[in-house]
Amino acid sequence: MRSATRTIFPVFAAIAVCLVGGCSLIPRQGPVTKEMAAARRLSNEALLAVDRQDLSRAETLLATAVKNCPADVDSRRHYAEVLWKRGEKLQAVAQIKEALRLSPGDVPLSVAAGAMVLELGLLDDADTLAGSAITLSPRSADAWHLHGQVALARGRPEEALADFQRSLSLDPDDKQVLLDTAEVYRRLNRPRRALSTLAVLEEQYGVEGPPANVLALEGLAQEALGRSEDAIECYRRAVAKGNPPQGIAERLAALSSSRAPDEASPIVR
């Protein structure tokens, strides 16, 4: 529905104006107040708690840090990340929105906020943040990636592919961009290009091999090429990894039971 893409957080539009118009930034360098130093100590403790998978403890520490020093951007950013991991997504967006208000020229922060609102289906907000980040930092691979993800969510795979390729030209080893690029090739009915992209991606994994989602996408590309046995092997490996993408176990079962050539193979390039 179109209403799902409307901007419901007006501050993002205001931030975009500041980014393009050249609003001055709140300094992140210089003298550190007693309150800010305390907030950063709490943030460091929280990050250690995150490493231990103790998100509840991390949330408590960061909530205290933000309460004691509301102007500390980094504490708010970490707080937003932890809230997001705990599933408190609206609260996470509220925190990252405030962090952006405090530091409107922060490109990584804009991209992180854009990724959050994109997952919530707020495509206009995500597009605004991605475009603003690109304007500020045209060589930000993450900003181009986000811009492509928005295009893909809007059903514009060709535009998404161009953005992903731009991102890869800046950071050729980004695993998520490689995966998203392979997915776009699959959607464009170009499974051979999807497989060649996945081959580059899989080289980056160690002895444990690629995760289930990469293997599943490889299986889909093999299946599109009519290579049932190769697809079955990919699906089996994906299922063995645990937590495969939805529908992969069913595809494996269907292919394994039939083991018959596809009645019609798609046009491939």
Q: How far apart are CA 58 and CA 62, in angstroms?
A: 6
* pLDDT tens digits for range 234-254: 999 999 999 999 999 999 999
pLDDT > 50? residue 263: no
DSSP the chain: -GGGGS---HHHHHHHHHHHHTPPPPPSSS---HHHHHHHHHHHHHHHHHHTT-HHHHHHHHHHHHHH-TT-HHHHHHHHHHHHHTT-HHHHHHHHHHHHHH-TT-HHHHHHHHHHHHHTT-HHHHHHHHHHHHHH-TT-HHHHHHHHHHHHHTT-HHHHHHHHHHHHHH-TT-HHHHHHHHHHHHHTT-HHHHHHHHHHHHTTS-TT---HHHHHHHHHHHHHTT-HHHHHHHHHHHHHHSSPPTTHHHHHHHHHHH----SSPPP--
pLDDT of residue 14: 45
Q: How far is CA 224 from CA 110, 191, 192, 218, in A?
A: 37, 7, 9, 10
Q: Is the dihedral of CA 183, 186, 190, 191 positive or negative?
A: positive
CA dist 145 and 197 (Å) reads 16
173-269: in CATH 3.40.50.300: no
Find all residues with CB under 8 Å of 48, minimum gap 6, and list them: none
Q: How confident is the model over 72-108, as pLDDT tens digits?
A: 999 999 999 999 999 999 999 999 999 999 998 899 9
Q: What is the pLDDT of residues 224-234, one digit of tens each?
A: 999 999 999 99
Domain residue ranges of the chain, discontinuous segments joined by +: 173-269
Confidence of residue 29 (pLDDT cuts 50, 70, 90): low
Handedness of CA 172, 177, 182, 188 (dihedral sign): negative
Which band of pLDDT confidence, cut at 50, 70 and 90, is reported for residue 32?
A: confident
Compute the mean pLDDT over every residue in the chain, rounded to the nearest whole number.
88
C-beta separation of 251 from 223 below 8 A:
yes
pLDDT value of residue 33: 84
pLDDT band at residue 30 using 50, 70 and 90 as cut-offs: low
Residue 13 to residue 21: CA distance in whole angstroms: 12
For 49, 191, 222, 224, the CA distances from 266, given in Å and listed in that order, are 50, 10, 12, 7
Whole-number Cα distances in Å, 258 to 96, 225, 253: 50, 17, 9
User: Do the beta carbons of residue 147 and residue 127 sit within 8 Å?
Assistant: yes
